[in-house]
């Protein structure tokens, strides 16, 4: 069993998932503005340090995706952030793309950039303690999109990124996110997501990426947030499983879903149902950002020195999702 495969299994063992704490400074500033907390580097660090030192880090969180600013910071006790995460028996990870930019040739779509100089940056992150990385491609659904150009270009970038990451002895998270924004039906989401994922794996195989040493981070199959045809959670789970069974090679060990605009409870409930109906060998877990942090952030904003109270809120959310990753969650536990 390869070192990379072992890393994947350790991150996702026993229902553990991934905390996506890789918000850029701009995104984190918006989140803090929403709760009336000044977005200073000290406050951004304080919130993240509060989460990273929670007890659920050891019990529920197998990995944390960091942003460039955070991986280089030290805690109030002068412990480097990757070291703190490692001490909590979790794996430090790092977002390595530089964001989605306008796609030349299809200006209404996006291409994720960041390949220039990536090999050198990966070596630096590896020395800082990173065990895995993340790169996100984004796709919109409309009558004409995602285009073949967008699907091909982002798949190629994800594959080149993954090959470089494995060369540097880290696990790549491959995140092709078909966005929830729009009026599309769940069936359209299913069709487009299937097309996107299949093309990603074509490129990954072409680039000789070891599929046993990656984590796929896809969206669930959902109707658009402006759609009139909302489907039941059971149907979300079944369509999501059907999509992945038909699109993902069996060598891939683990799938960690993004929450993609769902509420905290909705994301947890859908994850639970996916695992309830899961008849594959894939580990099905979570890699949530807002769906893990939002309640904790709201609580923390009322008194940023109430570390224990904030951790209690975060621990509950993490535990709920780890139960859902084992199909052991129920609404009664949310009280």
Residues 177, 138: Cα–Cα separation, whole Å: 5
Q: Which of 95, 110, 192, 217 is catalytic?
A: 217
Backbone angles phi, psi at 220, to 5 degrees: -80, 160
Tokens at residue 305, please? 């020195």
Contacts of residue 274, Cβ cutoff 8 Å, sequence gap at least 6: 220, 237, 240, 241, 257, 284
Q: Is 327 exposed, middle or buried (0-12, 13-18, 19+ CB in 10 A)?
A: middle
Residues 206, 184: Cα–Cα separation, whole Å: 31
Tokens at residue 284, please? 């099905």
Pick the closest to residue 236 from 280, 187, 285 (CA basis).
187
* Contacts for 77-86: CB closer than 8 Å, 24+ residues apart: 80/128, 80/129, 81/48, 81/49, 81/52, 82/128, 82/129, 82/130, 83/129, 84/49, 84/52, 84/53, 85/52, 85/57, 86/129
Query: Is 199 an annotated catalytic residue?
Result: no
H or E stretch at 121: helix 118-128
Q: What angle separates helix 307-324 from helix 264-277, to the nearest 10 degrees? A: 30
Peptide linkage before 55 cis (omega within 30 of 0): no
**Enzyme catalytic residues:** 217
């Amino acid at each position: 069993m390869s070192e990379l495969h072992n890393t994947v299994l350790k991150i996702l063992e026993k229902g553990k998932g991934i905390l996506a704490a890789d918000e850029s400074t701009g995104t984190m500033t918006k989140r803090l503005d929403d709760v009336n907390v000044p977005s200073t580097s000290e406050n951004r660090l304080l919130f993240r340090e509060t989460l990273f030192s929670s007890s659920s880090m050891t019990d529920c969180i197998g990995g944390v995706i960091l942003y460039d600013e955070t991986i280089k910071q030290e805690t109030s006790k002068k412990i480097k952030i990757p070291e703190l995460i490692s001490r909590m028996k979790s794996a430090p990870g790092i977002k390595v793309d530089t964001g989605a930019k306008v796609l030349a040739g299809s200006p209404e779509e996006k291409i994720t950039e960041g390949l220039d100089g990536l090999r050198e940056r990966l070596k630096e992150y590896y020395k800082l303690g990173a065990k895995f990385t993340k790169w996100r491609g984004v796709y919109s659904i409309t009558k004409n999109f995602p285009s073949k150009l967008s699907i091909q270009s982002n798949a190629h970038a994800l594959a080149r990124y993954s090959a470089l990451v494995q060369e540097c002895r880290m696990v790549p998270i491959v995140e092709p996110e078909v966005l929830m924004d729009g009026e599309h039906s769940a069936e359209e989401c299913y069709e487009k997501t299937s097309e996107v994922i299949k093309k990603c794996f074509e490129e990954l195989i072409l680039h000789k990426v070891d599929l046993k040493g990656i984590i796929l981070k896809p969206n669930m199959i959902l109707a658009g947030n402006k759609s009139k045809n909302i489907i039941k959670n059971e149907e979300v789970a079944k369509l999501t499983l059907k999509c992945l069974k038909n699109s993902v090679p069996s060598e891939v060990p683990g799938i960690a879903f993004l929450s993609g605009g769902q509420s905290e409870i909705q994301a947890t409930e859908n994850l639970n149902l996916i695992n309830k109906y899961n008849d594959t060998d894939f580990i099905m877990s979570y890699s949530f950002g807002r769906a893990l942090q939002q309640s904790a952030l709201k609580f923390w904003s009322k008194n940023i020195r109430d570390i224990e109270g904030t951790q209690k809120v975060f621990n509950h959310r993490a535990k709920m999702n780890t139960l859902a990753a084992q199909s052991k969650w129920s609404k009664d536990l949310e009280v």
